[in-house]
Amino acid sequence: MPSPEPREVFEAFLRAVNSRKTAALDALVHPDYLETYPQSGERTHGVENLRAIMEHYPGGYEDKGLDRTVGSEDRWVVTAAYTLLRIEGAGDTFTSVQQARYPDGSEWHVISIGEIRDGRVWRVQTFFAPAFDPPAWRSSWVEVVQTNE
């Protein structure tokens, strides 16, 4: 049986994280896994710490679904927890753009850059940004669109 493509590995990782299927992570996460959150300066080393973060997240995640995958080919997929708006990448590096609803009800955008090594997710860098209302001063030059809810 051929090894899965790097993109398939990253998508399976996102589905596992979003649906809280922590048991699936063992087959998807590289032994030297490292995830960084540049905005807070945090680093998560290894699958056990990732699993613990997922299991202890306060209030859990609300299902936002998975909308769109873009990259070497367009695909649409659905999963629980985040809305994956876009994944694009080539080779062993992929970017996902997602939406999340935090337990306090606030809407956030989540960008993850994942690198695959030896057929597993090796490095992930994740950025979080809150949703905000558009400023009035730009209203003459922009179109305001609704985000996925």
Q: What is the CATH number of the domain that holds 14?
A: 3.10.450.50
The amino acid that residue 84 corresponds to is L
Residue 76 has a pLDDT of 42
Round to whole Å and give the CA distance between 129 and 108.
6
- Whole-angstrom distance between the N-terminal and C-terminal Cα of the chain? 39
Beta bridge partners of 36: 43, 125
Residue 28 has a pLDDT of 96
User: Is there a domain that residue 43 lies in?
Assistant: yes
Provide the number of structural domains found in the chain.
1
User: Is there a domain that residue 139 lies in?
Assistant: no
Domain residue limits at 16: 6-131
Residue 83 has a pLDDT of 60
Round to whole Å and give the CA distance between 141 and 24.
46
User: Is there a domain that residue 1 lies in?
Assistant: no
User: Is there a domain that residue 48 lies in?
Assistant: yes
Round to whole Å and give the CA distance between 134 and 20.
33
Residue 125 has a pLDDT of 93
User: Is there a domain that residue 138 lies in?
Assistant: no
Beta bridge partners of 111: 97, 127
Round to whole Å and give the CA distance between 149 and 146.
8
User: Is there a domain that residue 141 lies in?
Assistant: no
Residue 131 has a pLDDT of 83
User: Is there a domain that residue 91 lies in?
Assistant: yes
User: Is there a domain that residue 47 lies in?
Assistant: yes
Q: Which of 103, 106, 66, 101 is nearest to 86 (CA)?
A: 66
Which residues in the chain show pLDDT less than 70? Answer: 1, 60-90, 147-149
Q: 8: helix, coil or strand?
A: helix
The amino acid that residue 41 corresponds to is G
